[in-house]
Chains A and B, each alone.
Chain A
């Protein structure tokens, strides 16, 4: 056997002339007692271990060569497992791979080295910033697709394990306990070997060294970083926003704060008549408080409802005892006269947001300096006032991107990601409410789960799955009120609306049709066909045949 020396450890061994192998074929070579499978594509050669670990036979060289999605592979002749010619990984089984040897062509001859390309022995590391629903869904999916592929470390700013944020309103309303809404108990993290840092948020990302640092000074290196920092409630830039007794409705701590307030306070004002505001208001009312909802628009939930449905909803809520101040702009949160109240202090709106200790107060566009004085009322821009002991700010959310931005990742309203949920840094992925995808941000759970599933396939290096955006649908989670909306239910000049009103049953339905396709649906009082409408919208199929009974719902 001829040897060409170029250093002792890395000797290039002559195998055969290139022409002895037909293009796109393989052959086994015996090199220093090792069986090495040599593959020739055209003029390029690859070398893998000839041993197929699945069947325990030296047969890989006899497999067919091809490409899968552009990656050159050999299909084992025994059970057709595919191995990457470049990396040796098994495409069907992420836990399996064969060794790769350096191979080259020089002067029409094939040479290989008998020392395998050293593979990184350590497992790859995944750091997850954010212990919420989107981040943990991604981790769960990843563990299913590629168990053991990563050492996983999770940082969560809150002191709870992952819980179902959607069910905060039932907890506030007293219909559920905190334990009921925990999705992944502490034991889950332990069982899955996931290192969890609770109550500690990441404050800096060193992208060059691929390291994150937490508020408590913990440093963690990553091969892949997943940002799931969620969103933060918007605090109105009005004087008095920093008073004791002004809270937001975002996390379990907010709920605990409000539940504490229930014991000492009688009156509450909820600023924001959107989904979250109404759920908060309903919860507080069920806890026995006298609640007024203050809303800027004169349509409740104007992003999810039209005027007609909104007024039905408002009437129904008023009948239950909620009060409304519609079309009202909050000008100032008023301080309670000293000594007017006794009893314990209620926490001010405190930031509990992930990945953000450096800039720790919530949006302080004005007047939100923490104060020891307590809230006493709300003044509107027309000069009128109402007295209250508690103010809940539920005036919307926006993506929490401070960490991403400080790390120099491209952001707009959210962290920008492509259809694989990858940010502009290829090692960093992002999912959930912090993400801006195709110019959309999402605040509802279904799209976030879709993102999580796609992202997990890429973290697992399966390379499948594309996220192409979601159709958003909403349900209001207030007992006894059935409300659903999806898609574009307002319509435009080119679309038409079909409307059903049944005052006696308290049912209102509106569907929007364009080009014989269902574009949107709004259901009030009767939502049993909600998923059917959602399907029709997503499927984008011709509903001409259904049109006549579209408003009666699914037949049969």
Chain B
């Protein structure tokens, strides 16, 4: 399809779908390219790696001094070696700086695939490829790595939505997806049941409390209006989830690069100022998109009025009620690099809103780079917001119907992964710490703090060992 060896220049994660190439020449939006975007726009003293305090300038200096690979750059500057949160930013900076120096760079996924993520999406979809083996045989080389395996697993999920723990797919998953839980620093996992829209009955609250008590878990309310249960060992996960599923809970997909939560304010039902039923709409949206796998996590919010109590403008998809309907905001982010969402469309009714979100999400899934949040994706999208509007609202590419149909297929094929997993004895067999013993990991030790457990620190562990 696309030529594999093309040299990317400034715009490294050119987020234009291959279909759009046809209209690229005549696009009136090319002027939008003039502004430096993404990583190019950062000043030299901008901090890239906050763990090790590495600035853009320091990274550029290291690149100048000959670090032309991620490994060399990480080793020389220590950037992206602690929490790793900045590694995609560092990689983009490296590519950008190399391109600026006239070095041919590419956005190939990794050494095993000479394609970008968006190219692979189309190869998988057009070629009806349904397994990593099939993709590797046809388009890759080697045995793969921790970059291409989860990426292709995610692409397969975005295309076909099959159970991610089928044996051939399970081995592609990052440990979070492999155990359908979030790995914590001490090797235990956290459990996050879905609480759509943040609305929960007292009975369900009690259930969560009972389960947390039974398994001795630490509980915390999250920013996404749900409850996180920490300190679960691998072998406890199936029993915890049997209890949760039995009480009507579903997976919250907190472990996946997938739709996480739809935060909401209480809306017109109770609030004196509310214009629309934000909770109801948030629940509808969450139930529609739950489990949707994407290049990175997706967070939504619905606010019932312009006071914006749900902070929708800091979300990938933000919906704010107006007198006449809903305004749609996209590509906000509250994380490492906060970004206010852009207003994509105004005064939509619920049905049209859903269609626009369908199109927006599928377009993002098709064209973004791996681990690229919507905010960064839009910042690097040629033509920017105007182009996005053309695609989503004006259907300039003529793909809107296809995007909606793709989304409908994904919505209709949703199953709760945890429900599926606990019904599958083969999968459940893997939920143990040792393959040859029923013992626990004796390295996991908790202390009590403020009436709950927490992992011991290294220092405490050393003291315990001395004492024991």
Give A residues with C-beta under 8 Å from B. 1, 14-16, 20-25, 27-31, 35, 38, 41, 51, 55-59, 62-70, 72-73, 75, 77-80, 82, 91-94, 144-145, 453, 457, 462, 464-465, 539, 541
- List A contacts of B112 (CB < 8 A): 66-67
Verify A59–B82 contact, CB threshold 8 A: no
The answer for the CA separation of A65 and B102 in the assembled complex, in Å, is 34
Shortest distance between the CB of A12 and any CB in chain B (Å)? 14
Task: Specify the chain B residue showing the minimal Cβ separation from A144.
Answer: B76
- Which of B21-29, B178-186, B409-417 is the contact stretch? B178-186
**Are B81 and A79 in touch, CB under 8 angstroms?**
yes
Kindly state the separation between the CA atoms of A72 and B176 in the bound complex, as whole angstroms: 22
B443 CB–A CB distance under 8 Å: yes
Interface positions of B from 109 to 152, Cβ below 8 Å from A: 111-112, 142-150
- Distance (Å) between the CB of B429 and the closest chain A CB? 8
In the assembled complex, the CB of A67 is this many whole angstroms from the nearest CB of chain B, namely 5
Q: Is B111 a contact of A77 with CB atoms below 8 Å?
A: no
Chain B, residue nearest A28 (CB):
B434
Residues of A within 8 A of B439 (CB): 30
Decide: A57 and B145 in contact? CB cutoff 8 A.
no
Residues of chain A with a CB closer than 8 A to B69's CB: 464
Q: Which residues of A contact B142 (CB under 8 A)?
A: 66-67, 70
Inter-chain contact A66/B185, CB cutoff 8 Å: no
A30: which B residues are within 8 A, CB to CB?
434, 436-437, 439
Say if the beta carbon of B17 comes within 8 Å of chain A.
Answer: no
The interface residues of chain A lying within 8 Å CB-to-CB of B6 are none
Taking residues whose C-beta sits less than 8 angstroms from the other chain, chain B's interface range is 35 or more
List 16 A-B pairs, Cβ < 8 Å.
Answer: A22-B170, A30-B436, A35-B443, A51-B443, A56-B443, A56-B461, A57-B187, A64-B146, A65-B171, A72-B143, A75-B145, A77-B174, A78-B185, A80-B84, A80-B87, A144-B76
Min CB distance A3 to B, Å, is 12
Residues of chain B touching chain A, judged by Cβ–Cβ distance below 8 Å, are 66, 68-69, 71-72, 74-76, 81-84, 87, 102, 111-112, 142-150, 167, 170-172, 174-176, 178-179, 183, 185-187, 433-437, 439, 441, 443, 458, 461
A539 touches B102 (CB 8 A): yes
Cβ-defined contact, B441 with A58, below 8 A:
yes
A93→B458 contact, CB < 8 A: no
Given A92-B75, A93-B75; A79-B170 close (CB under 8 Å) = no
> Does A27 contact B435, Cβ atoms closer than 8 Å?
yes
Question: Are A64 and B443 neighbours in the complex by a CB distance under 8 Å?
Answer: no
Shortest A1–chain B CB gap in Å is 7
Report which of A27, A63, A79, A457 forms a contact with B175, defined as CB distance below 8 A: A63
Q: Which residue of A lies closest to B132 (CB)?
A: A24
Interface-central residue, B83, B150, B175, B179, by most chain A CB under 10 Å: B175
* B residues in contact with A94, CB < 8 Å: 75
| Cβ B441 vs Cβ A145 within 8 A | no
Q: How far is the CB of B73 from chain A (nearest CB, A)?
A: 11
CA distance A73 to B76 in the complex (A): 21
Q: Is the interface of A mostly helix, strand, loop or mixed?
A: mixed
- In Å, the complex CA distance between A144 and B77 comes to 11
Complex contacts, A66 vs chain B, CB 8 Å: 112, 142-149
- CB–CB B435/A69 < 8 A: no
- Per a CB cutoff under 8 Å, which of B71, B81, B171 touches A24? B171
Question: CA separation between A72 and B145, bound complex, in Å?
Answer: 9
Q: Can you name 10 extra interface pairs (CB under 8 A) apart from A62-B178, A464-B72?
A: A15-B436, A30-B439, A35-B441, A58-B187, A64-B149, A66-B112, A77-B183, A94-B75, A453-B66, A464-B68
On whether A68 and B145 interact (CB within 8 A), knowing A57-B443, A77-B174, the answer reads yes
Shortest beta-carbon distance from B137 to chain A in Å? 14
* Given known A-B contacts A1-B436, A69-B111, A24 and B143 have beta carbons under 8 A apart: yes
How far is A41 from B143 in the complex, measured between Cα atoms in Å? 9
By a CB distance below 8 angstroms, the chain A residues around B84 are 79-80
Query: How far is B144's CA from A65's CA once the two chains are assembled, in angstroms?
Result: 8
- How distant is A439 from chain B, measured CB to nearest CB, in Å? 25
Is B171 touching A23 in the complex (CB atoms < 8 A)? yes
